[in-house]
Structure 1
């Protein structure tokens, strides 16, 4: 069974939790003792607490990982010096461990900026977030969502994990499902769109008429609802090409609502009608099947409300 995770909100510790004390009951090295007591934190996080001088043994601060503890000693851990996590704008963290960060991104937030741009992005915010715990921490891009696409997105916490995920993306990702609000009534209840995608000189993707000319892209869809000149589709990607859904929806004559770049005529819901609802994948280090979902924004159902 996949391991499901609920959205979690990290709150700063209450004042009374600023210092926690533990009595040593058996001989053990300090780092191993801390890892056992601070079970909610990863190894690097615990090392960072040590390095900042937030741990004392019998009242004496120590930063040595291999400090030998003996029964009867008191180990105190202070959280007072821990910097408060920077606020996140336009995204929330769904899941975090030593290897990956999974977030829910809102429409309007860039995943990653180009060198010429200097605005707030998911990447920059999450970099600041992990560095508030340890200045050496970094994050790495695994895949991207368009600025105006909302939903589930994953980052790696090391270059090794990033490469593992990217090199095995097709095998590692077990399910990648979007919800798409498209123009017009899609009469075929379900279907598969297959083409070879290429990029024009103006950076616009398009389907090549020649088999094998470009990157193979396969999109499966099912109609969820129709009405008032729009259709709501559940879209499952077999491949993850740039702008794949947007191009394929235009190819079948039902452009994503609000997507003027790819043929949309209406404003739709005032944003791109595309939401990354579900991402299921094999964890790069544990091998567990992980599954994360993001609720579909209510605005996607605007045209289908019963009166």
Structure 2
């Protein structure tokens, strides 16, 4: 079982005498957790994410519990000597997949992100938006235990942004952890397990609002074995779960994650029977 990723009194500066970008940072990222990082431009958010992703090493302190990690940087180098599919297949093989499995995963993620038409296009000829889709795909195809996203939604179209949100839900439902930065305060609003602010080189945890759901919700009524227990990935996905009768449950899930929930229910062994799916309106005060 994967252990926590821990930063202990970690600091980072560039050069032996450079100013400290971060110092005295303590952070624990447990499996299945969704963590948001906020802060002003240039405050050190990207530096923190690079430490978490293992791109940079701390100048002081230590990092323990390194999981299998994938990273989407703020700026992705598009001018690489590959086609989109070739690049993803190559990285999939680096992650330990066979060439066949890597090619299959590459095709699946290009399709999901709406970039299948550009599979054979050289990376140098891709638009900024299509290049960003490849950047996201390369992080997801290996099913990482820790996914680090630095402004990963920037440049994506509406459908691809929604698909990335679904992928985040899938990773956390599967027990992976996700740490992200995004300039839009509405991104995954109400869903993070923890929110941190980088300020003056320090990391401060912000209080997470109570359990009231934010945004449109979907209610799913399901039926399983009378003595059946909801699968763990289902429990991690839902906002609330109420057992209405032996084996029958009423589940509430944020609308963007409803398809993740349904997939988990239908692929469970034995599968759960979906009785009813109903979309609810936004909860009062959820709009920003």
Name the TM-score, length of structure 2 as normaliser. 0.25
Bigger relative contact order, structure 1 or 2 (CA pairs below 8 A, ≥6 apart):
2
- Greater fraction strand: 1
| Structure with larger Rg | 1
- Greater fraction helix: 2
